[in-house]
Amino acid sequence: MTLDKVKMLEYCNEFSKNTLMETLNIEYIDAGEGFLVAKMPVNPSVHQPMGLLHGGASVALAESVGSAASHFFINDKEHEVRGIEISANHLKSIREGVVYGTARIIHKGRTLHLWEIKVTDEAGNLISLCKLTNMVLTKEKK
């Protein structure tokens, strides 16, 4: 399957408007065969009370990029994607800067997609390692 990187990124950034992704300033910045990358600024709006990146914000980034990536393997006129399980190991803290979520496909089945999402800082240090399972559902006819 050949994918148009520019169209993929435009699509992801467009459907993020008026959503949590926009609230968290998540921006999709790179894409290719079997992967998608998004970035999120780290500032007080995504901190926990100790002034560190909130684990929930890292998970929101991971689920956003992994779910968006599944859209490139489906016909979105007939199917839709739902995240059904996510796990995260938070390995390093960060107070400011930018984090990047890179989703890479592990398993692409007909009804289930399994993604590994690495959340890294600007130096490439691993902040969180996440695993996301998405279910592909047939859209209900209206």
Q: At CB < 8 A and 24+ separation, what contacts does 47-53 make?
A: 47/95, 51/95, 52/93, 52/94, 52/95, 53/93, 53/94, 53/95, 53/99, 53/127
What are the chain's domains? 5-138 (3.10.129.10)
pTM of the model: 0.94
- The tens place of each residue's pLDDT in the chain, 142 residues long, gives 456 899 989 999 999 999 999 999 999 999 998 899 999 999 999 999 999 999 999 999 999 999 999 999 999 899 999 999 999 999 999 999 999 999 999 999 999 999 999 999 999 999 999 999 999 999 988 7
Query: Does residue 63 carry a catalytic annotation?
Result: yes
Which of 22, 33, 63, 96 is an active site residue? 63
